[in-house]
Amino acid sequence: NSKINTNFLSISVICLMLFLTIVMLSTGIGFKNASEKILIDSTPFDVSISLYSDDSIKTVEESLNAVNFKFDDTEKYVYFDIYDSGVKLKDIINKKDLINKYILSDEFDFYNIDLIKLSDYNNIRKLKGKDTESLKENEIILTSNNRSILDILNKEFEKNKKINLYNKEYKIKNGDIIEESLKSSPYLNNIATLIVNDNIVQNAETKSSNLNVQFTKNKKKSEKKFRLLLDSFREGKVDYNKAGFLNGDTKQEIYINNKGAVTIVLFIEMYLGIIFLISSMAILAIQQLSEANDSIERYKAIERLGANEKMINKTIFIQILIYFGLPISLAFLHSIIGIKVIYNVMESVYNPDIKYTLISTAIIFLVVYFAYFYTTYIGYKNIVKNSK
């Protein structure tokens, strides 16, 4: 009874370790790929700076003038404002769909959709090197860069392509929701933004003043200049009453911070995953080799009953296969659910291709598994053979 309880406990622990191994190895590389994809989509500009409307200074341009900041000829830039539409996300999206996608469930009830003037939007597109857009009097453009939100918006507006704004109904241009980032950020922060004709925002409340910058030449020099500017605000070197507070990031800064964080997470996941895998296989091997010494008399009895060496070796093989296979099978079944949940969350930012990640995990797993399995089988067989 004591031996059964001990084996049950050890198998349970090994099963848990193998489950964590499969999940960490399978999702670690996927997490890295997701982070890289996010950065590509979320950083269309070399610098993006924001100043929120509750500051004493109302625009980024005023703030920069207050600190005597000057642009170089190699720096192209666009100022633009983001307005509050007064339209809540819950007014256009079914809350059930939103929560099922694991996103924004806490913010859903109070999040207001942003507004940007068409002229500002076209200036942003020009800075990206894209074509400008035009709108009829009753048209608007709806943008987002969150994949789950995009999927839900496309579903919600599949039949009804209209939005009510300031007691007037507007048609979504071409019936399409555009996937687009309007400024650089460490994450995909354009939940939903409406692009409207300039006259519509005349009485709208300004949420933030913004600046996007692209470097054309001397990128290192410009990068350093804007970093020093933003650091001076973060470190409190600039008088708030004089210049407000500018918040922003350079693209390079975002990439460096992200790379450091992702590298640490990936290292921990891969390191722990491999350690758990090797430890689990080693424990199984040691248990079986210890069992071999305890079972010598049984195999001698079987041999006296007429079993030959081939039959004994087959029995040893099946015993070790079951002992190694049971925890792995249970861990595999549990990991399917864990991996599915994690990748569902990743789908909120991009569609991950898990095929190569799973193949890599399977190769690592099988190499370690068969190495320990074969070594244990040979060791067990030799212990029984040498005891004769």
The tokens describing 229, both together, are: 């500017």
**Cα gap 8→342, rounded to integer Å:** 29
Mean pLDDT, rounded, for 56-83: 92
Sheet with 193-196: list strands edge to edge: 162-165, 168-179, 139-144, 193-196, 112-117, 75-88, 205-215, 47-52, 247-250
Give residue 3's pLDDT band: very low, low, confident or very high (50, 70, 90): low
Give the residue with greater pLDDT, 135 vs 160: 135
Residue 99 has pLDDT above 60, yes or no: no
- CA 170 centroid distance within chain: 34
Instruction: Express each pLDDT in 9-22 by its tens digit.
Output: 788 889 899 999 98
Give the residue with greater pLDDT, 92 vs 135: 135
Look-up: residue for tokens 């079951």? 322
pLDDT at position 337 is 87
Q: What average pLDDT does the structure give for the chain?
A: 86
Give the residue with greater pLDDT, 315 vs 161: 315
Look-up: residue for tokens 């996937």? 179
Residue 133 has pLDDT above 80, yes or no: yes
Cα first-last separation, the chain: 29
Residue 335 has pLDDT above 80, yes or no: yes
The tokens describing 363, both together, are: 């190769």
**Cα gap 269→364, rounded to integer Å:** 14
Mean pLDDT, rounded, for 97-121: 71
Residue 388 has pLDDT above 80, yes or no: no
Instruction: Express each pLDDT in 265-305 by its tens digit.
Output: 888 888 898 999 999 999 989 888 888 877 788 878 888 88
DSSP for 271-322, written as a single string: HHHHHHHHHHHHHHHHHHHHHHHHTHHHHHHHHHTT--HHHHHHHHHHHHHH
**Cα gap 153→92, rounded to integer Å:** 8
Residue 102 has pLDDT above 50, yes or no: no
Look-up: residue for tokens 């590389």? 29
Instruction: Express each pLDDT in 362-377 by its tens digit.
Output: 888 889 999 999 999 9
**Cα gap 362→329, rounded to integer Å:** 13
Residue 100 has pLDDT above 80, yes or no: no
pLDDT at position 4 is 58
